Every structure is written in C-alpha cells, then in structure tokens.
Amino acid sequence: MKYLTGVLCVLCVLCVLCVSAVQSYADEYAADFLNIGVGGRALGMGGAYASIADDGSAFYWNPAGLPYLVKREVTLQHTWIFSGLASHDFVSIVHPLPNMAGVGFSWIRFAVDEIPLYPELPGTPDERKQDPNLRPDGIPQDYFNDQENAFFFTFGKRFEEKIGKDWRYLTIPFTLSFGGNLKFIQQSLYDRTGTATGFDFGSIFRLNLNDLTGTTEYWGDVSLGVSLQDIGGTRITWDTPSQHVDRIPFNGKIAFSYNQPLFSSSRILFAYDRDSRYGGREHWGLEYGLNHLLALRAGLDEINSGVFTLGTGIQVSKFKVDYAFMSHDLGGTHRVSGGVRF
C-alpha cells in the first residue's frame, strides 16, 4: 500500500507539472491522424473516455484501462471520412494476464489514395498570361498516396487495495490501475518516409460510493483518470536530405466519470475530460445503458471548435457494435466499430 501511495503521489505531481506546462503550436499538425480518435463508444461520448477506457480502445484513451478487461477482446473499425476522401481504420487485440494484468496490440491506419501530382509550370506568371501554351492543362502527370500508421504495444496492471485497512471501524476498498504504451509511428508521403517512437502512461482510480455510505445499491462508481501522451514529445524524423523533424507535443489528460445505477437494471454515465495540448480542449460525454444490452450516447468534443456527437451501442452475447455520429465543417462522419469478447 505504501508503494502504491508513493507511485500515485509521483503521478499526480507529474500530471500537475505537465498539464500546466506551456504548449507549443509549431507542430500542431504533426501526425494529426492520431487526433481522429477510435472506438464507437468513446467517440459517441465526445471523447470523454480517459477515466473509463474499459474496452479495446483503451490503448488510445488511457492504457490504464486495459487491466479492467477480464476477457480477450478483438475490436475493429473502418471509416470513410471527409466525404470519402480518406479512410481511417484501427484494429486492437487485448489479452488478460494473471494477477489482474493485461497486454494488447493495436494498429491505427490513415490513408489518402490517388493524390494528383502536377508538373512544374514553365515560365513566369506574366509569360503564362501571354502564352496559352505555357498554361497548365489540368492533367496530372502522376498520382501518389499518403499512408500513415501507428502501432501500439500496451501493458497494464490493476491493484485492489483498501483505505484505512488497519482502522477498526471503517475500511474503504478501491482499485488503482497503471498502464503504458510503446508506440511506433510511420508516415509515407510520395517518396519520403518519417518514423518515430513514443511513450504514453496512464492511471485510473475507482471507488464505489456505497462503500462510503454503507448502502448496497443506491450509489455508483467514481473514476478519476490521468493519461500522459507523447511523454517528452514524440519526434518524427523524415528521410529528407535535411533529416527534417516534426514533433508531436506532450498531452496531459485529466478525467472524471460517475456511473449511477437507475431503476430496471439501467444506469447513466457522465464523463468529463480535459486535454492540455494546443491550449486545452474539453470533452463531455453522457451514456444511458439498459441491462447491458443497449446504450444511447451524446457528447461535446471541443477539439474541433465544438463538435457534437451522438451514438448508440448494442451487445448480444459476446458480440457488440457501437455507432457514433460526429458533426464537422467538412461534413458529418459516421463511425462504426465492432468487437467480440471470448
């Protein structure tokens, strides 16, 4: 217990320091495909998921959620975004380990195919204005692709402890989990390739309020989450003559959620996240669940200047499907993810 308390204190200090740090905007769009988000449930809740993260998308939102999965899970998602101009996919495989631990392997892919490449224009603007033969004919000389991939290896461990376990009259059980990602990023644009290795770390603290009040059913669970992404800044080095480097700045997430049981085996879940990257963005999410079979969701994601989200989820036996709609200036996108637990 003393060890866990010490680790938690250090984590909190790191979070305060990192979240309050001044962020750089110079590389705001470096590996921007990693800002799109994965998982129909999380996206339907506006991305407010760092204190929940109990499915195959845990690696993305908070790797500390991985050890809360008690069964193997495979999760898939394929999406056409921006009116079909680009495709976005992710695959995640999670495997529980003994002693409340878990390991996972995940892949995110973003691609834009058949980008036209036009020849260099001859002459000067004035010469092209005078001579129609120097003007472009609008026919590309070639096509190229934009391919962006990120591979994640995730490990997490969960602890069950008690506050005041040596006290005579009151002990309060809680769970505390830690998790981390080792990730490899590869981007290919035309004939150039950029690569990077990055690290993420997270923690989740969960407490059932019934253990504080002495009741058995009325109150729900409180969860606090911390997720530290791209610790130290992730550097993408390109194979250009100048060895150009793009830097993904650090992002610190602090998160809170409350899961309240209702009547007739239903519940309502409220969640809030705040990012530190790019000046700070907030995420709000709400989920109503009925008997572990049906869920209705709504959220607000400020990462794109106020994106509202809607979603639903269905689970039958070991299969589940989650749908999310996200508004966007370039057109709303529909995300569907599916998973199986076995």
Q: What is the pLDDT along the chain (342 residues), one digit of tens a residue?
A: 444 444 444 444 444 444 444 344 445 667 788 988 999 999 999 999 999 999 999 999 999 999 999 899 999 998 887 767 788 999 999 999 999 999 999 999 999 887 787 788 787 888 878 888 777 777 887 777 788 999 999 999 999 887 766 565 667 788 999 999 999 999 988 888 999 999 999 999 999 888 776 666 778 899 999 999 999 999 999 998 888 899 999 999 999 999 999 877 899 999 999 999 877 889 999 999 998 899 999 999 875 566 889 999 999 989 999 999 987 666 678 899 999 998
Domain extent listing, the chain = 2-341
Chain centre to alpha carbon of residue 154: 13
**pLDDT score of 66:** 95
**pLDDT score of 120:** 80
**pLDDT score of 20:** 40
d(CA 113, CA 189) in angstroms, rounded, equals: 11
Question: Cβ–Cβ contacts within 10 Å for residue 126, how many?
Answer: 8
**pLDDT score of 315:** 92
Give 305: exposed, middle or buried? Use CB within 10 Å, 0-12, 13-18, 19+: exposed
**pLDDT score of 33:** 86
**pLDDT score of 126:** 83
pTM for this prediction: 0.84
d(CA 257, CA 309) in angstroms, rounded, equals: 18
- What single string gives the DSSP state of each residue in 111-159? EEEEEEEPPPPPS-HHHHHH-GGGS--S--SEEEEEEEEEEEEEEEEEE
**pLDDT score of 47:** 93
Architecture category of domain 2-341 in CATH: Beta Barrel (2.40)
**pLDDT score of 229:** 96
d(CA 67, CA 96) in angstroms, rounded, equals: 7
**pLDDT score of 17:** 41
Q: Evaluate the CA torsion angle 213, 215, 218, 219 in order and state its sign.
A: positive
**pLDDT score of 272:** 96
Q: Evaluate the CA torsion angle 324, 325, 328, 332 in order and state its sign.
A: positive
**pLDDT score of 3:** 42
**pLDDT score of 227:** 97
For residue 113 the two structure tokens come to 């195919």
d(CA 102, CA 97) in angstroms, rounded, equals: 5
Q: Choose among 259, 324, 316, 326: nearest CA to 289.
A: 259
**pLDDT score of 162:** 77
d(CA 161, CA 150) in angstroms, rounded, equals: 35
